[in-house]
Amino acid sequence: MSETLSVSVGIVGAGSMGGSIARGLLEAGAIVPERLLAADHDPARTEALAALGAHVFPDGAALVDAGPDVVVLAVKPQVLPDVMAQCAAGLAGRLVISIAAGVALSTIEAALPGARVVRAMPNLPVQVRSGATALAAGSLATAADVELARKVFAALGAAQVMREDQLDVSGAVVGTAPAFFSLFVDTLTRAGVRAGLPAQACREMLETTMRGCAEQLLAEGVHPRAYMERVTSPGGTTAAALRELEPLVAAGSEEAVDAALARTRELAEG
């Protein structure tokens, strides 16, 4: 179980990512329900969190008025300006964590005068406490603020503090990785079915294998290339398969990350 936070956390936006953060914190024991606040315009989203004991609100302004110590802005970049305008008066002097992709710290600080801002780029597996989050501090955020933000997301998986210019790259690589991994399982399942395997059995075996590989890589600290060599006999079937697959994956991964970064810049420019 994670260390229980001694602060209250308010999450503005209880959609896919905001709801995942909220549920992950509760399930990890990182926060007691009465210290978790959530706001969303969709009552169905907040009702689900209220059933877990969280305090819920119809909008961000009402949540901020309730006085949480930390406010997480978990809304889409296109929505963030309106949300910040609604909440700005109550956020001065408070720690604010934004997860909006591509919205710079300087932009957030200009919209929230006096707020101590940290940007975070989490990915969806935070819901099952196996996510990854990159963090960067704004000009007013203290070392204690950054450590508190890190603890919030460390309860949900890996959390790394880095420069802001690295955040968008992290979003394009780590943020999109769950979709990439899912795509690989899906396409490999289709290849297995085409070669004669039952679809459900093939998918289950691949998903279990993916989890096992990740657990071994993390537990042993082994480099992925060294791990590959364990199952690659010279002249064997895996070697033959990798000879075909690796160039395609390498080129495709670079193009995919470039496309994600380009879209991030487009969103940031409005």
């990350």: which residue's tokens? 257
Residues in CB range of 125: below 8 A, 6 or more apart: 131, 132, 157, 178
* Predicted confidence (pLDDT) per residue in 75-115, tens digit: 998 999 999 999 999 999 999 999 998 899 999 999 999 99
pLDDT band at 159 (very low <50, low <70, confident <90, very high): very high
Class of domain 9-170: alpha beta
Contact yes or no for 101/171 (Cβ under 8 A): yes
What pTM value is reported for the model? 0.87
Mean pLDDT over residues 22-29, rounded? Answer: 93
Span(s) in the chain for CATH 3.40.50.720:
9-170
Token digits for 22? 């909220």
Tokens 């210290």 belong to 35
Each residue's pLDDT tens digit, 182-237: 999 999 999 999 999 999 999 999 999 999 999 999 999 999 999 999 999 999 99
Statement: residue 1 has pLDDT above 60: no
Dist CA 55 CA 45 (whole Å): 12
**Sorting pLDDT into bands at 50, 70 and 90, what band is 29?**
very high
- Banded pLDDT at 251 (limits 50, 70, 90): very high
Residues 6+ apart with CB under 8 A from 25: 5, 9, 31, 36, 152, 155, 156
Interval 35-44 mean pLDDT: 96
Question: Which strands form 9-12's sheet, in the order they lie side by side?
Answer: 55-57, 36-39, 9-12, 70-73, 95-98, 116-122, 131-137, 157-161
Spell out the CATH class of 177-269: mainly alpha
- Cα–Cα dist 26/11, whole Å: 13
Reported confidence tier of residue 71, pLDDT bands at 50, 70, 90: very high
Q: What pLDDT is recorded for position 264?
A: 81
CATH 1.10.3730.10 in the chain, residue ranges: 177-269
Q: DSSP characters for 61-99?
A: HHHHHT--SEEEE-S-TTTHHHHHHHHHHHHTTSEEEE-
Q: What is the mean pLDDT of residues 152-179?
A: 94
